[in-house]
Structure 1
Amino acid sequence: MLVPVDGGNLTVEIHDGDTAPVLAIHGVSGSRKLWNWVAAHGISLIAPDLRGRGDSASLTGGTMKQHADDMVRVLDALDLDSVTVAGMSMGGYVAVDLAVRHPDRVRALVLVDGGFPMPMHAQMTEEILSAALAPQLAARERTWTVDEYLAVQAMVNKAIDPTDSLIREYFAHDLTPDGHLALSGETLLTDTRDVVFGTSRWQELTVPTWFVHAEWSTGPGSAPAYSPEQAAGFRAALPVLREPVLIGGVDHGGTVMTAAGAAVTAEVIAEALK
């Protein structure tokens, strides 16, 4: 469905399941297809392509506040007063902003490897950030077949299973019909800067909150985005935060894009829905 927002329409996919609806917010370079593995567990999802991505790629603008305002428009369009919200990676920061500024619209919050300050962000500079985003920005300059694009993604991240049909669907959705990336470079840069150099308002949360985090960041053995000790620190500092859940044997994307990770994330979402 199309939802009117500032500047145009946001594309939103509805997954009918066995639960109350959950607003599911994807990460900085992801799309609504990120949540297909969780939807397979019977969770009813409202999954938008955020502006600048997928079928909403023509919408410009960014920042966590802008995306959160868009999410309010989505809830309004569906006549939903209050829902459980799940946010993965950057989507977690959007979800935090939404819950802090509009606590009446969020009955519970599930943050998946995002939403809290990442220690690695403290080491970031504009130069490092630009270098980190350079491959994605460069990929926008050429055309791809789905097979070519999937092969490159599997080479970069060994945890990706190219034989998984949902993986193929996910990366195929990254491409326009003519083979370009459905990703706004301007919005990617704006959003990433906001996440890295901005301030998460997690300490202002008042809604029941769950936190799921991965053992690794980018493949086996890599340092995690959040260590168990850091997760415990968030738990001690935030009264509304439940006991954090560590998913062993998966990396950042694997929290939702693998069968094992999605099973745990879906279980936590189901708990938040109770």
Structure 2
Amino acid sequence: MKQLIMIRGGGELATGIAHRLYNCGYKVLMLEQQYPSAIRRNIVFSEAIYDGETTVERVTCYKADDAKEASKMLKEGKLVIMVDPGLESLKVFKPKVLVDAIYAKRNLGTNKDMAPLTIGIGPGFVAGQDVTCVIETARGHNLGRILHDGIALPEKDIAEARAIMRASHSINSPCDGYLEAGHPTAYIIDKDEVIGRLHVDGGHVLEIRTPIAGVLRGMLHDNCPVRTGLKIAEIDPSTKPANCMSISAKTRCVSGSVLEVIVGWEHTHVKKSRLLPWKNK
């Protein structure tokens, strides 16, 4: 599909990128795993994997069950997501642009041969080797910088990022099991309040309690399988509930850089790419 941009991932950064590109007139297909693990569920398109469709800031993303259905939806002008963590659909769609926004802090198989333009989001990629370029995601002066060589910085190396991480509190799963979510995103909680339960082998149920009071920024989807150490919820003692319901400033910055890369690349490859339909009229 000549006018297609493919995005690996459906979490917060991937959603912001897809949201901006779709609003700018691009055809966008997102690829996710069977059980997405994004916790800020009100602002991620990966929720469509569970619910069939989801809307973030007036843009709706629809789940396709296979490549054939995805192709039909894309032709109808829809923003589409499907389960394909292994990139099996890559050979079917042959996108001009591939964006790896899984944000796993390591490369899960993306390489430059997968598309004419490949973009890596955050740490784990070497610009010019693994992908065409990398977008810096560490907060601070270089947030959103387009790197044509080298790597993005780990967030733990940035003082501002460390301060933000200290301000919020992540809750990780103590063992493998299935999560029973107790509260919606943006819920105001008290210290030691039960926000969910973990169902483990043998029929045992563990209560998930909050170590601090604050706003529940996000929590994994109900009945989601979890592994030991996986982040299952995040509490922020200082943010406003309304901030949990919209795309963040960091995500908007990163998505703007992705758009800049694509538009700039298309300008020099316009006869080959033709990503934007309105440029051909």
* Same fold, TM-score > 0.5, yes or no: no
Higher Cα Rg: structure 1 or 2? Answer: 2
TM-score (norm 1): 0.38
TM-score (norm 2): 0.37
Q: Which has the higher strand share?
A: 2
Q: Which has the higher helix share?
A: 1
